């Protein structure tokens, strides 16, 4: 296959955070994290092709997604080319299934897929450690998506440790028709942490021996009042084992009890739309 016709198609999975703890502020301005990130079956699809010339193009089925230099996929191409000295033209076709501004890591996963795809197309000029460093330069979540399976992520997200196997569960993802800005969520957390009132306690939820927690829930719930209402409503449903916000939101995750039938899950979907409106995005999935 000639370089000009080389292409690769990759799945870029979403993630959820089963645990997200903020341990403090780092000297570099980022927050010190300890989070259990889990890839799920919901995924974007990316086709990466080497093309003549030196240009970079991105087309996407989502008209609301920027496709210029600010897009993480384009940034990943440019970072790879700068690191390797390979100036080859690249065309990317992105089929978005993961909503953006959702706390599901779609943009970071897309960027990681581009790095992996570029490395394959151009005969693997970078070893795994170099790809990880490049991924970390693009964003805190990007290194996770170069990893296979669930991982505990520490530092600002770039230090990964394999996680124990998780018990099988069906997941219901529910995203209201608004995003939550990640930078704002962390800023609001810091403000609440420094205030006299401090952080409110969360009601404990568990998946086996793992406590499900998210330190960003309190600051986000304080502004986006639909989310705590939705969490409480989900926890009251008979088929739901636990419910929580993933990442900085706005997606809520309902972990279904073992043995809950597809008919029961479909019924809950209908009740969600009846309760919260038809503009809610819902996806039934599970972890890989």
Which residues are marked as active site? 15, 141
Contact in structure between 78 and 155 (CB atoms under 8 Å): no
The torsion angle over the Cα atoms of residues 183, 228, 205 and 172, rounded to 10 degrees, is: -90
- Residues 122-159 as b or e (16 or more Cβ within 10 Å = b): beeebeeeebbebbbebbbbbbbbbbeebbbbbbbbbe
Phi, psi dihedrals of residue 283, rounded to the nearest 5°: -140, 135
User: Residue 24 — left, alpha, or beta (φ > 0 → left; ψ -120 to 50 → alpha)?
Assistant: left
**Separation CA 71–CA 107 (nearest Å):** 8
**Separation of alpha carbons 189 and 56, rounded Å:** 38
CA 73 – CA 140 distance, rounded (Å)? 15
Contact 150, 287 (CB under 8 A): yes
CA distance 244 to 44: 23
- Phi/psi region, residue 250 (left: phi>0; alpha: psi -120 to 50; beta: rest), is alpha
Q: Residue 15 in contact with residue 38, Cβ under 8 Å?
A: yes
d(CA 96, CA 45): 7
């Amino acid at each position: 296959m000639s370089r000009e016709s080389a292409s690769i198609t990759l799945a870029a999975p979403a993630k959820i955070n089963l645990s997200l703890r903020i341990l403090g502020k780092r000297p570099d301005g980022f927050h010190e994290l300890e989070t259990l990130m889990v890839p799920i079956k919901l995924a974007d699809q990316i086709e990466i092709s080497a093309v003549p010339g030196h240009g970079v193009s991105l087309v996407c089925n989502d008209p609301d997604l920027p496709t210029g230099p600010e897009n993480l996929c384009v940034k990943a191409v440019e970072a790879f080319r700068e690191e390797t000295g390979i100036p080859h033209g690249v065309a990317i076709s992105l089929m978005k299934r993961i909503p953006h501004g959702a706390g599901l890591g779609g943009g970071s996963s897309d960027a990681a897929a581009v790095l992996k795809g570029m490395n394959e197309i151009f005969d693997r000029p970078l070893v795994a450690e170099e790809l990880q460093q490049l991924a970390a330069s693009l964003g805190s979540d990007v290194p996770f998506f170069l990893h296979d399976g669930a991982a505990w992520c520490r530092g600002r997200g770039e230090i990964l440790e394999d996680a124990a196997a998780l018990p099988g569960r069906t997941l219901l993802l529910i995203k209201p028709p608004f995003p939550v800005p990640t930078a704002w969520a962390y800023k609001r957390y810091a403000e609440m942490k420094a205030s006299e009132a401090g952080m409110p306690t969360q009601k404990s939820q568990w998946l086996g021996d793992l406590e499900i927690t998210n330190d960003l829930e309190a600051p986000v719930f304080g502004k986006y009042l639909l989310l705590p209402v939705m969490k409480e409503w989900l926890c009251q449903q008979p088929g739901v084992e636990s419910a929580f916000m993933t990442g900085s939101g706005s997606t809520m995750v309902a972990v279904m009890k073992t043995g809950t039938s597809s008919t029961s899950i479909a019924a809950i979907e209908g009740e969600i739309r009846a309760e919260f409106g038809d503009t809610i995005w819902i996806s039934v999935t599970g972890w890989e």
